[in-house]
Structure 1
């Protein structure tokens, strides 16, 4: 009887290997051979999961995006009870990846962001992730009373989303400390929500 293979489980295993290598070396350091070695599978097994390196990278990006989104839901972005202002602050902090425990994810996210400039499939995946986050921010800004006029909540959400990405980069390169970035974020939210 042939051995049963958990195809989706193997794809996730490969994605985790891609993410680990991207954290250590950047995306340019992710090779099929190294991914197979890190995942402890054959190169053929990787090739059966993904036809191309780009397909493998798109899946890995979607995988890390799902992980961040799941945590964002836990932070209160899914409409769970609680003040919208607090949920907005938790979501913005989570998306900023400011905590030390999120440093690897921040490096990986920015590596994918840089590669997406020249890869339409990666850019398409990032646009979908950003759209979902923008929708969550828009809803919470409106619920927290931070929308001013037509389109105000959407505009505020776009600004906040851009700020979270920028803060991630500033912390990674050492321009800001995580605490300093959190102060910037808190100051922006206070101004947005009036206090």
Structure 2
């Protein structure tokens, strides 16, 4: 009896190979042939699952976002909006090897997408969803004197900047987490009575 193929698993195998290559050399130089070699499969198999490099990259970026969400949800159940926001943003920061690889991939993807508007749309959707979620948590906390939408955009910009600083060894993990916590303390002040 023929073995049943798990197509999602195969796509993830290829996306993981793409992410390793992207982290090591950026996306511009990565080819379908290199992904096949890195994954230990034929180029034909790569082309069976992904018609183009852009299609494979979009899948890989979605996989990174799914992993961040899964890790965030796997954490102990947060009891406040601040804890929920902190838990999610900590999963975005490159604080371990897995998250460093993901950050390298996202940076490579951003650089690649800067010249390809069709690819950038997936990034915009992901960022918009994250901003909406963060703004909702700020509203739920009734944070004092802030515009939740602007504050959410600022939090994402802060985490992006901290991520770059961590990847370039400008900050330690402890310094980056302390900076995030300081901003969260400012944003999640209780409303004045």
The answer to whether the 8 Å contact 1:58/1:121 transfers is no
- The TM-score with structure 2 as length reference comes to 0.87
Equivalent position of 1:53 in the other structure? 53
> For this pair of structures, how many residues does the alignment match?
190
> What is the RMSD of the two structures over their aligned residues, measured on CA atoms?
2.2
Relative to structure 1, the CA distance from residue 24 to residue 64 in structure 2 (aligned partners, 3 Å threshold; closer, same or farther) is: same
Deviations 1:55-81 (A, max 9, x none): 1111111111211122233347xxx55
Deviations 1:123-180 (A, max 9, x none): 111111111211221121112222536xx11111111111111110111112222211
Pick from 138, 142, 147 the counterpart of residue 141 of structure 1. 138
Relative to structure 1, the CA distance from residue 6 to residue 89 in structure 2 (aligned partners, 3 Å threshold; closer, same or farther) is: closer
Equivalent position of 2:73 in the other structure? 73
Relative to structure 1, the CA distance from residue 38 to residue 158 in structure 2 (aligned partners, 3 Å threshold; closer, same or farther) is: same
Relative to structure 1, the CA distance from residue 111 to residue 73 in structure 2 (aligned partners, 3 Å threshold; closer, same or farther) is: same
- Counterpart CA distance in 2 for 1:50 and 1:101 is 24
The answer to whether the 8 Å contact 1:98/1:181 transfers is no
Equivalent position of 2:19 in the other structure? 19
- Counterpart CA distance in 1 for 2:88 and 2:23 is 23
Is residue 112 of structure 1 aligned with residue 109 of structure 2? yes
Moved over 4 A (4+): 1-4
Equivalent position of 1:94 in the other structure? 91
TM-fit CA distance, 1:5: 3.8
- Counterpart CA distance in 2 for 1:3 and 1:87 is 42
- The TM-score with structure 1 as length reference comes to 0.86
Q: Show structure 2 runs of 5+ residues with no match.
A: none
TM-fit CA distance, 1:36: 0.6
Q: Show structure 1 runs of 5+ residues with no match.
A: none
Equivalent position of 1:38 in the other structure? 38
Structure 2 residue matching 1:106: 3-state secondary structure: helix
Pick from 171, 178, 185 the counterpart of residue 180 of structure 2. 185
The answer to whether the 8 Å contact 2:69/2:88 transfers is no
The answer to whether the 8 Å contact 1:61/1:122 transfers is no
